[in-house]
Amino acid sequence: MKTLKILVIDNESRWVNFLEQQFQVMSVPDIASALAQLRLKPFDLIMVSSRQLTALESIRQSHPEIPIIVMTVQATSQEARAAYLKGARRYMTKTFDVQALYRQIEDVVLAEPNLIN
- Residues 43-56 have pLDDT tens digits of 999 998 887 777 78
Contact 76, 111 (CB under 8 A): no
Q: Can you tell me the distance from the alpha carbon of 117 to that of 97, in angstroms, rounded to the nearest whole number? A: 27
Delimit the domains of the chain by residue range.
Answer: 5-112
pLDDT value at residue 100: 81
CA distance 106 to 117: 13
CATH fold of 5-112 reads: Rossmann fold (3.40.50)
Give the pLDDT band of residue 6 (cuts 50, 70, 90). very high
- Strands in the chain per DSSP E: 5-9, 24-28, 45-49, 68-72, 90-93
On the question of pLDDT at 12 being above 80, the answer is: no
The one-letter code for the residue type at 38 is: L
CA–CA separation, 23 vs 106, rounded Å?
12
How far is residue 95's CA from residue 41's CA, in Å, rounded to a whole number? 27
What is the per-residue pLDDT for 39?
A: 93
Q: pLDDT tens digit string along 81-111?
A: 888 888 888 888 877 677 888 888 888 877 8
Q: What is the pTM of this model?
A: 0.84
